[in-house]
Amino acid sequence: MRHAILLPDSGLRGALWSNGVPGDVMQVQLSDDVVLDSRRAVWLPRQRTLVLADFFFGLGAARRRRLDPLPVTPQQELWERVLGLLADYDPEQLALLGDIKPSQGTLEGDEAEELRSILRKLKGPGRKVIQVVGHPERSTGPALAGTDLQPVEQARIGAHTLIHRRRVFVYPRHDPHHGFWINGGVHPLFAVPRPGPTGEPDWLRLPAFLHTGFALVMPPFVSYAQGFEVIQAERLPRQARAWTLLADRLNPLDLPELPPAPEALRTLTRPPRKGREEPRPEA
């Protein structure tokens, strides 16, 4: 049985939920029809829709055969979370924000059959799967061949609109006003100070859910799709709320009291892609 734990001064309209077991899954009820789940998912109970951002289950068979394979443990943990969410919520609809494989790209070896098998598991008996992509060119690609997925650039689910847009930090007012944008393309990342071994600040970069008032911005479902820009709390609207993810827990972040991150942590360097030379500094 789950128990509601009210958080003082958290700015929540609802409650934080837990099974009462240390390290167990927790949920934040953001509104009557939006629940944040610490397994990096959003549950829309009125529409019985489960929302995941950047699932990337297309990183599969071919990559595991390379010299730099995706570790087995994260792959297993990914599926444990997926199966747990499906079992707990039993959704009628699953919304995937982002590509099912980076750029909906080419398939190697038995990846095609692997993707079809995964989609069959996700659909289950009578479950609908929709995909929301950020750009029109992502609406087609080898990874979609032979599936009945028809990606869209946005989807209206109840009062809310699902999108997958990068570099979107200012959102227009949503219509209807009691709904908001749910974006899976930005990946909020906050720098949070913690006491170090000798009392000095020891900064952690943590993924988070961010609610700006007009938009709910989601963390990536896969941990290796982390964001590369630390969000500065002082630039957010006054009504913004955030919950960081750490050790399978959702933790409310006191944005007005969050100190500015050190300059070295504000922008992360994206690693260069293989086969591409790094730009040379100008003379």
pLDDT tens string 107-124: 666 667 777 777 778 888
Identity of the residue numbered 235:
R
pLDDT of 28 higher than 70: yes
* CA–CA separation, 122 and 124 (whole Å): 6
Model pLDDT for residues 166-177, shown as the tens digit of each residue: 876 678 888 888
Any alpha helices (H) in the chain, and if so which ranges? 61-64, 72-89, 111-123, 263-266
CB of 208 within 8 A of CB of 245?
A: yes
| pLDDT for residue 5 | 36
Least confident of 34-48, 103-117, 239-253: 103-117
Q: What is the pTM of this model?
A: 0.80
Residue 30 has pLDDT above 80, yes or no: yes
Spatial distance between the Cα atoms of 153 and 165, rounded to a whole number of angstroms: 9
Q: Average pLDDT in the 9-23 region?
A: 41
Tell which residue, 32, 35, 51, 46, has the closest CA to residue 2: 35
Q: What is the dihedral of CA 193, 194, 200, 201, to 10 degrees?
A: -10
Report CA dihedral (39, 95, 132, 275) to the nearest 10 degrees. Answer: 40
Helix (H, G, I), strand (E, B) or coil at 75: helix
Distance CA 5, CA 14 (A): 10
